[in-house]
């Protein structure tokens, strides 16, 4: 039976992403873990076959802890991706009306993303911070009925609570990209993406240009480029690059091999199918 770890506890958006991909979950054991580090390390230790963590949000940008652990502390590889629309819900105990709510508990990012709804409908409400939306929903079961939480539909069902207002997020374009990590490079699907990290030999004028030129000369489209601290001196960075194509495509392979002459090291984070929304 396949074991899949994910950022828990039960009821997180990460679990919703996993459920969206896995469907009926036949022959799958789910392992909720408390941190992104724990999920990725579960692959390195052989405790799970795959792990699921967030890596990017359309409003808040990259999830840096995911990037850094994959870059510096793990040999796990990205094996697929999934993008999930983030739908926030106001959740309370059964029978409670929105007019009764005096307190709202959730993760600070969730309450911030629902600012306009809260201002219009609950202007005097007290905001209480939780470590995650799932934790907020779990805590709600032991709190007074005048307290509501912002969280997922999955968590509401898990704890037998009621959604009293749905889709309360300010931006309907709010999406999070999740990645599945494993210990292998999947075969080509015909519509793939490759993620790498470039470690520079020495920071000097033209360093980034020389990296980009290898891809431009081969007409390889870069879908993302981002710098992260190299965990050395201040001002030293690594470059994280996503590109179209699979590592086993000759043009992608040649570009990366040619690039190795200009950098200290290249780490392949993964080569995997691009997410396509199911119809």
Q: Whole-angstrom Cα distance, residue 26 to residue 18? A: 13
CATH of domain 89-165: 3.40.190.10
Taken in order 134, 140, 142, 143, the sign of the CA dihedral is positive
| Pairing of β 103-106 and β 126-129 | parallel
Q: What is the pLDDT of residue 59?
A: 83
What's the rounded mean pLDDT across residues 236-260? 94
> Helix, strand, or coil here: 77?
strand
Of 78, 90, 67, the C-alpha closest to 226 is 67
14 is catalytic: no
Strand partners, 272: 193
Of residues 12, 66, 176, 194, which has the active-site annotation?
176
Q: Whole-angstrom Cα distance, residue 256 to residue 237? A: 19
- What stretch(es) of the chain map to CATH 3.40.190.10? 2-85+174-182, 89-165
- What stretch(es) of the chain map to CATH 3.30.70.260? 192-273
Q: Is the pLDDT of residue 279 over 50?
A: no
Residue 141 backbone phi and psi in degrees, to 5: -65, -25
CB neighbour list of residue 63: distance below 8 Å, 6 or more residues apart? 36, 53, 54, 55, 56, 57
Among the residue ranges 109-118, 203-212, 243-252, 258-267, the one predicted with the least confidence is 203-212
Q: Whole-angstrom Cα distance, residue 222 to residue 241? A: 7
168: confidence class by pLDDT, cuts 50, 70, 90: very high
Mean pLDDT, the chain, rounded, equals 91
Q: Is the pTM of this model over 0.85?
A: yes
Q: Whole-angstrom Cα distance, residue 165 to residue 91? A: 7
Q: Is the pLDDT of residue 278 over 80?
A: no
Of 108, 113, 107, 120, the C-alpha closest to 85 is 113
Question: Would you say 6 and 52 are in contact if contact means Cβ atoms under 8 Å apart?
Answer: yes
Q: What's the CATH superfamily of 2-85+174-182?
A: Periplasmic binding protein-like II (3.40.190.10)
Q: What is the pLDDT of residue 179?
A: 97
CATH of domain 192-273: 3.30.70.260
Of residues 178, 180, 215, 239, which has the active-site annotation?
178
13 is catalytic: no
């Amino acid at each position: 039976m396949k074991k899949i770890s994910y950022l828990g506890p039960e009821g997180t958006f990460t679990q919703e992403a996993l459920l969206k991909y896995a469907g009926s979950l036949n022959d799958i054991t789910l392992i909720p873990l408390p941190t992104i580090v724990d999920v990725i390390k579960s692959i390195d230790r052989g405790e799970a076959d795959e792990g699921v963590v967030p890596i990017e949000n359309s409003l808040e940008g990259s999830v840096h802890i995911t990037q850094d652990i994959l870059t510096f502390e793990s040999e796990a590889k990205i094996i697929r991706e999934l993008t999930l629309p983030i739908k926030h819900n106001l959740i309370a105990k059964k029978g409670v009306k929105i007019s009764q709510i005096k307190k709202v508990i959730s993760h600070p990012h969730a309450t911030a993303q629902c600012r306009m709804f809260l201002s219009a409908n609950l202007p005097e409400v007290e905001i209480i911070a939780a470590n995650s939306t799932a934790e907020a929903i779990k805590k709600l079961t032991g709190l007074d009925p005048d307290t509501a939480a912002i969280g997922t539909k999955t968590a509401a069902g898990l704890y037998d609570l009621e959604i009293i207002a749905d889709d309360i997020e300010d931006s309907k374009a709010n999406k999070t990209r999740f990645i599945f990590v494993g210990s292998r490079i999947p075969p080509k699907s015909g519509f793939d993406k490759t993620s790498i990290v470039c470690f520079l030999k020495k920071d000097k004028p033209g360093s980034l240009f020389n990296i980009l030129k290898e891809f431009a000369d081969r007409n390889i489209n870069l879908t993302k480029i981002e710098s992260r601290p190299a965990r050395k001196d201040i001002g030293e960075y690594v470059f994280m690059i996503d590109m179209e194509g699979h590592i086993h495509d000759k043009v992608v392979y040649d570009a990366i091999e040619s690039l190795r002459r200009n950098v200290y090291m290249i780490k392949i984070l993964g080569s995997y199918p691009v997410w396509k929304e199911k119809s």
